[in-house]
A and B are shown apart, each in its own frame.
Chain A
Amino acid sequence: MPNKSNKMKFLVPLISVFLGLLIGGIIMLISGYQPVEAYVALFQGIFGGSYYFGETIRQMSPLILSGLAVAFAFRTGLFNIGVEGQLLVGWLAAVYVGIFVDAPAIIHIPLAVLAAGVAGALWGSVPGILKARFKVHEVITTIMMNYIALYTTNEIIRNYMLAPGERTENIKESASLASPFLQSITEYSTLHFGIIVALIAAVIMWFLLWRTTLGYELRAVGFNQHASQYAGINVSKNIVLSMAISGAFAGIAGSMEGLGTYQYMTINAGFTGVGFDGIAVALLGANSAIGVILGAALFGGLKIGALNMQSIAGVPTELIGVVIALIIFFVACSYLVHWLMNRVNRGGKI
């Protein structure tokens, strides 16, 4: 029944989003807000003008990349919760190249993005090596690596790159992804060229997974490690590679912040949250490149729309965090959605 499972692939996320928004509405109702007014404000905050549209797309670029990072590792049967840490390391590397290297933009930008990717890949490959060599579960090591990244990047900024305001200096003009043109057509939003980098990355992920031998091996390891081993695939090598590539996507997500949105890196008191959102994006997008783009569009939109929802309907933006959490729950509990669907179907027939 390939058709039915294909249908479910679309239905589960759609129903999950619906249920998430529904329960979010109920929470608003119980706490004395106007859910209809709030959701109208939310959607106006996403589509109500080119400024909001620009902001949504800007928000999407790191989300797409962190979603790709999680999804790529998932395909090899690995759960990369360390996107947050790899993102910080990539952010720092991109800003470092942006500040200390002199080059024309045509070289400088790719170099900075590449540096971010390499830094993320190195950071990501550590849990990969630990998994391949010592059979340590990657979930725990990636969480630990997140904190190591947070404190280490802060320390490096504090000691070597500090500028007034608990941050680094601005990157050079030649490394910047910011675009006056894109800003001017979106009523001066913070939109930058990063979205192009993100979309290219999505194509690369699709091509790698589905059009190369490496991708075939990676997916085979994800389906069944023992069978892959038996077929002569080097499982250890694939685990390390998968984590490295996943980390590279995450690192480039960091360069979106460093080269695009902020143009510098701050001393972070806590995590950015983009890496954790990547888990939600990948889950919702069923770990496919196109799904990740759609998932990032939804969550990026929700996050930007939430600002309008707060100013018009007075609902705290955190409600959207709750809705996103609920959506993750329902996608994770697809068992429940299947069960509900069966009940509804049966009810319709009888």
Chain B
Amino acid sequence: MSFMDILALIIPAAIVSAAPLIFTALGGVFSERSGVVNIGLEGLMLFGAFTGAVTIYYGEQFGLNGAAPWVSFVVAMIVGALFASIHAVASISLKADQVVSGVAINFLAAGLAIFLTKKIFNAGQTPVISERISKSNIPYLSDIPVIGKLFFTNAYLTSYLAVFVALIVWYVLYKTPFGLRLRSVGEHPMAADTMGINVKKMRYIGVLLSGALAGLGGAVYVASISGNFTHSTITGQGFMALAAMIFGKWHPLGALGAALFFGLAQAISISGAQIPGLQDIPKVFLLIAPYVLTILALAGLVGRADAPKALGTPYEKGKR
């Protein structure tokens, strides 16, 4: 097996497993940049996966065919935002502990999704969908020598959408007045308030966007990877996205890079047995790599990662 064959095996797989992580991690960037910790990403992603699976299934019944997954993405984003609004109300308006509220979101999403699955389908999982996002070659780009084969052949459209959305998020956060306001609320809410920025409103927008993107991440996972929703569809991807966001230093493009890197680790842990040289590395090292690296990054051993200053503290007007 030549080196190119190995890359051709791993890189598309890495990009596929990275896409849901990218969306969810970008959601995390919005929420945490506005100053609200979002441990609930896992639950939001899980509920997005459930919503996606159900919508695609019924979309197929109604004859939406190939459009079903795309409809499900929109529905999952709306449902995700609604679900995140619980976290927003609790942690912004009611000044609950944001971590506790996030933990509750995870419990609630897991319980409710399986409860509804059992209620609707009378089974522990949703039916397997037939309209998945299918692999395709990107026209023209796939003809580029070397790069075309690695990056643009046999790839899912959603993966490119993920990269594109990351660029948009970067533009919005760093090149628009809205982005400046959102970040300022997360760094120094009192100063932002003095400048006439509505702190609560910005934080609500941040959390709702995080719900929408995490929901999208879950739905993309169902449409491109798992094909249905069970209790074990989303087990830790949300937390891995959280890790990617931190490893990416709360920056959209950093999160993108980290999610791609974690996707690569996952891809190697799955297909590593076929690759000479990697067969001998125990799989466990690849499985734990994302988490170990995140801890090292936080400890400052792999570049210092600093959280937004006001992260985790509810804002109270007039409080010193």
Please name all residues of chain A whose beta carbon is closer than 8 Å to the beta carbon of B111 when the two chains form the complex. Answer: 318-322, 324-325
Please encode chain A, from 269 to 296, with 1 for each CB lying within 8 Å of some chain B CB and 0 for all others. 1100000100110010000000000000
Chain A residue at smallest Cβ distance from B301: A134
Please tell me if B107 contacts chain A, counting CB pairs below 8 Å.
Answer: yes
Across the interface, do B298 and A276 meet the contact criterion of CB distance under 8 Å?
A: no
Across the interface, do A328 and B100 meet the contact criterion of CB distance under 8 Å?
A: yes
Interface residue range, chain A: 35 or more
Please tell me if A140 contacts chain B, counting CB pairs below 8 Å.
Answer: yes
Please tell me if A9 contacts chain B, counting CB pairs below 8 Å.
Answer: no
Please tell me if B229 contacts chain A, counting CB pairs below 8 Å.
Answer: no
Q: Using A151-B284, A155-B284, A276-B107 as known contacts, say yes or no to A136 and B299 having CB atoms under 8 A apart.
A: yes
Tally of A-B Cβ pairs under 8 angstroms = 129
Please tell me if A130 contacts chain B, counting CB pairs below 8 Å.
Answer: yes
Across the interface, do B295 and A130 meet the contact criterion of CB distance under 8 Å?
A: yes
**Shortest beta-carbon distance from B7 to chain A in Å:** 26
Across the interface, do A141 and B104 meet the contact criterion of CB distance under 8 Å?
A: no
Binds B, one of A86-94, A161-169, A178-186, A332-340: A332-340
Across the interface, do A147 and B39 meet the contact criterion of CB distance under 8 Å?
A: no
Please tell me if A81 contacts chain B, counting CB pairs below 8 Å.
Answer: yes
Please tell me if B95 contacts chain A, counting CB pairs below 8 Å.
Answer: yes
Please tell me if A329 contacts chain B, counting CB pairs below 8 Å.
Answer: yes
Please tell me if B197 contacts chain A, counting CB pairs below 8 Å.
Answer: no
List residues 71-119 of chain B with CB under 8 A from any CB of chain A. 86, 90, 94-97, 99-101, 103-108, 110-112, 114-116, 118-119
Across the interface, do A332 and B299 meet the contact criterion of CB distance under 8 Å?
A: no
Please tell me if A51 contacts chain B, counting CB pairs below 8 Å.
Answer: no
- Which listed residue, A143, A151, A283, A329, touches B108 by the CB 8 Å rule? A329
List residues 76-133 of chain A with CB under 8 A from any CB of chain B. 79, 81, 130, 133
Q: Using A31-B119, A144-B291, A276-B103 as known contacts, say yes or no to A333 and B108 having CB atoms under 8 A apart.
A: no
Residues on B lying within 8 angstroms of A by beta carbon are 37, 39, 86, 90, 94-97, 99-101, 103-108, 110-112, 114-116, 118-119, 232, 235-236, 239-240, 242-243, 246, 282-284, 287-288, 291-292, 294-295, 298-300, 307
Residues on A lying within 8 angstroms of B by beta carbon are 27, 31-32, 79, 81, 130, 133-134, 136-137, 139-141, 143-145, 147-148, 151-152, 154-155, 269-270, 276, 279-280, 283, 316, 318-322, 324-326, 328-329, 331-336
A130-B299, A329-B104 known; 15 new pairs, CB 8 Å cut-off, are: A31-B115, A81-B99, A136-B299, A143-B242, A147-B240, A155-B284, A276-B106, A276-B107, A280-B107, A321-B114, A326-B104, A333-B90, A333-B101, A334-B96, A335-B95
